[in-house]
């Protein structure tokens, strides 16, 4: 068994040997604290600032691939590397922005008078179970956390072809225009007799989807 005295003696002997080899001046230069070493390492291996900021901004929570805690620590590490002087409150908000929009509404840590990272991590951990249960149900959200678009039923509004409108306005002089009731009746029976579903089409007009029908031979 090696005593503490023996260990101390060994360390002293090693240091004495280093002093002889390196010299007292060189040894004094190397005998620095950890903070100095950390600063030196950061300056030597400084990552590309724009790239690390891009990674920090683009990192989102992928609920099907990682836990909320894993997302939290990864996002926080990227943010601290990209924004070394950023306030903790701003970092906290950025972590929340990495969640899907509909999940952000459930987070209330940022509303506290003195929010901190521990509060946020605790709240996210408590919300993870209900969130994943909803996501796994697949009723309203897909695997990328985006709302599933609902299929819209096109309105059944019928748009009268411009040819008919122009025909009534620009009727030749000397000919008596048919009464409106007769025109509607004639078109009604004509469409019914020659109706072809293939002539149906849809157009977007004034933010609405309108169904139109192309008349035969037009």
Q: How many domains does the chain have?
A: 2
Q: Same domain, yes or no, for 119 and 198?
A: no
Indicate whether 184 belongs to any domain. no
Residue 145 pLDDT: 47
* Same domain for 114 and 56: yes
Asked if residue 79 belongs to a domain, the reply is yes
Does one domain contain both 155 and 213?
A: yes
Same domain, 123 and 158: no
- pLDDT value at residue 29: 63
User: In terms of residue numbers, what domain contains 53?
Assistant: 49-137
Are 94 and 55 members of one domain?
yes
Alpha-carbon torsion, ordered 27, 31, 32, 34, to 10 deg: 140
Check whether residue 131 and residue 79 sit in a common domain.
Answer: yes
Question: Where residue 65 falls among pLDDT bands split at 50, 70, 90?
Answer: very high
Tokens of 124: 């996210």
Average pLDDT, integer, range 36-56: 79
CB atoms within 10 A of CB 99: 22
Q: Which residues contact 117 (CB under 8 A, 6 or more apart)?
A: 76, 88, 91, 92
Q: Does this model's pTM top 0.85? A: no
99 and 157 belong to one structural domain:
no
- What is the C-alpha separation between 218 and 206, in angstroms, rounded? 25
- Tell me, yes or no, whether 76 and 113 share the same domain: yes
Residue 5 pLDDT more than 80?
no
């Amino acid at each position: 068994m090696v005593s503490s005295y023996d260990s101390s003696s060994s360390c002293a002997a090693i240091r004495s040997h280093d002093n002889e080899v390196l010299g007292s001046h060189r040894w004094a230069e190397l005998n620095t604290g950890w903070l100095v070493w950390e600063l030196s390492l950061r300056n030597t291996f400084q990552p590309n600032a724009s790239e690390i900021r891009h990674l920090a901004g683009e990192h989102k929570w992928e609920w099907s691939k990682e836990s909320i805690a894993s997302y939290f620590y990864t996002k926080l590490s990227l943010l601290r590397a990209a924004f070394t002087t950023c306030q903790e409150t701003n970092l906290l908000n950025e972590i929340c922005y990495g969640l899907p929009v509909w999940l952000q509404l459930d987070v209330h840590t940022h509303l506290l008078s003195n929010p901190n990272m521990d509060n946020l991590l605790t709240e996210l951990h408590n919300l993870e179970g209900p969130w994943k249960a909803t996501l796994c149900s697949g009723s309203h959200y897909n695997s990328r956390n985006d709302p599933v678009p609902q299929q819209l039923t096109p309105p059944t509004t019928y748009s009268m072809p411009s040819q008919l409108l122009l025909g009534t306005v620009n009727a030749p002089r000397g000919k008596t225009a048919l009464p409106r009731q007769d025109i509607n009746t004639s078109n009604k029976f004509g469409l019914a007799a020659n109706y072809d579903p293939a002539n149906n089409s849809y157009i977007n007009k004034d933010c609405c989807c309108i169904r139109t029908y192309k008349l035969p031979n037009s």
